[in-house]
Structure formats: C-alpha cells, structure tokens
C-alpha cells in the first residue's frame, strides 16, 4: 500500500462524501451565488469542489507511481476503477437531480466500464492498453461538463449560453468515439476470449 495507491483509495473515499452533498438537502442559507433567478446552492458548490479535488488526484497518483517506480498490480486495478466509479457516481447523481439525461449517463458509464474490461483482458495477456489521445481529450471534456452541470452553468448562464448542455453532449460523443477507437485498435485482444 504505497503512496500512489493511498491517493487512489482517497479518491474512492471522496465519492460517497460528494454524493451526500449532491443528494442530501442541507438547506444552507443564503446560497453562495444568487442573481435574479439563478441560485447556486452551497451543497452543489461543495460537491463540485470535491469532484475537482478527486479528479485532480488521478494525474497525481499515476505520476508518482511512474516517477518513483511504484507501479503495482493493485494500482493498475484500482486507478481506472476509481476513475470510473467517480464519473459514474456523479453522473447518476446528476440524473437523479434532473441535470443530466439518463441516456447520456448510460453511454458514458457503459463506455468507461467496457474499456476497463478491455484493459483487464490486456493485463491478463501481459500487455497494456495505453490511453490514446482521444481518451485524454474525453477525460478533460467529461470533467469540464460535469463541473459545468454541478455549478448550474455558471457563469455562462448570464450570457445565455447553454455551455453545460453543449459540454455534456460533447462528452457523450467523444466518449463514444474513443470507446469505439479503443476496441478497433485492440480487437486482437478479443480474438482469444471467445468474444
């Protein structure tokens, strides 16, 4: 249980804390931002900050593991699992809150776990499925879209720009594209699995 793996576990532990702030009405008053009809409740703002903190640890644990030669099998399993759990938890919460369409959440979550399964097959065969450029872009767009939804499209709401909606649609499209790309590029891994 080295430092990178502890950071990964901390990311997993932040997930239920974030969900509590998203799904439990704490009724904080006043809201941190109120402008005419726009209201950003404290619980959403806190959840957004927790999400940003959790998402930022993804790069940190991987960097530390590679730099200090601390890459372990546990880390290879936990790191992508933690990422997928974080994204799945927040998307399901956003659907529950009426801020994200369920089909978008299903597309994104399905792709994430399908690619994780592909990576596990690769590990069993002694190879590694490296993150491609589209996968990295997908991660950034997902994070931006989720944060925009969590903070009620602030500050774009004042400009009349539905940035949060555009961003989550873009996230769904690039997520689907990168998933197809992963499977096409690594189809040789499926030939020996009976798939």
Instruction: Give the whole-angstrom CA distance, residue 21 versus residue 18.
Output: 5
Q: Encode pLDDT of 78-123 as tens digits.
A: 888 899 999 999 999 999 999 999 999 999 999 998 988 888 788 7
Task: Judge contact between 61 and 157, C-beta under 8 A.
Answer: no
Q: Encode pLDDT of 32-45 as tens digits.
A: 888 888 999 999 99
pLDDT of residue 192: 61
pLDDT of residue 193: 55
CA-wise closest residue to 47 among 55, 37, 35? 55
pLDDT of residue 149: 98
Domains of the chain from N-terminus onward: 1-188 (1.20.120.1760)
Q: In this structure, what token pair is assigned to residue 124?
A: 């069993």
CA-wise closest residue to 47 among 95, 9, 15, 84? 15
pLDDT of residue 20: 95
pTM for the whole structure = 0.90
Q: Please report, in angstroms and rounded to a whole number, the separation of the first and last CA atoms in the chain.
A: 35
Task: Judge contact between 61 and 86, C-beta under 8 A.
Answer: no
- The residues, any chain, with a CB within 8 Å of residue 59's CB and separated by 6 or more, are none
Q: In this predicted model, which residue has the larger pLDDT, 30 or 144?
A: 144
């Amino acid at each position: 249980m080295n430092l990178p793996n502890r950071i990964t576990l901390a990311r997993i532990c932040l997930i239920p804390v974030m969900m509590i702030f998203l799904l439990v009405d704490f009724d904080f008053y006043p809201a941190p931002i109120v402008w005419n009809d726009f209201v950003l409740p404290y619980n959403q703002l806190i959840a957004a900050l927790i999400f940003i903190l959790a998402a930022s640890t993804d790069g940190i644990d991987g960097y530390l593991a590679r730099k200090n030669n601390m890459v372990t099998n546990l880390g290879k399993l936990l790191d992508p699992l933690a990422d997928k759990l974080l994204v799945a938890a927040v998307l399901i919460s956003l659907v529950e809150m009426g801020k994200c369409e369920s089909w978008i959440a299903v597309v994104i979550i399905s792709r994430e776990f399908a690619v994780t399964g592909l990576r596990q097959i690769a590990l069993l065969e002694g190879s590694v499925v490296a993150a491609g450029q589209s996968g990295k872009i997908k991660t950034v767009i997902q994070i931006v879209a989720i944060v925009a939804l969590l903070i009620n499209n602030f500050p774009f709401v004042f400009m009349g720009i539905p940035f949060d909606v555009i961003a989550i649609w873009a996230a769904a499209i690039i997520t689907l594209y990168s998933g197809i790309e992963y499977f096409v590029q690594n189809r040789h891994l499926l030939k020996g699995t009976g798939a």
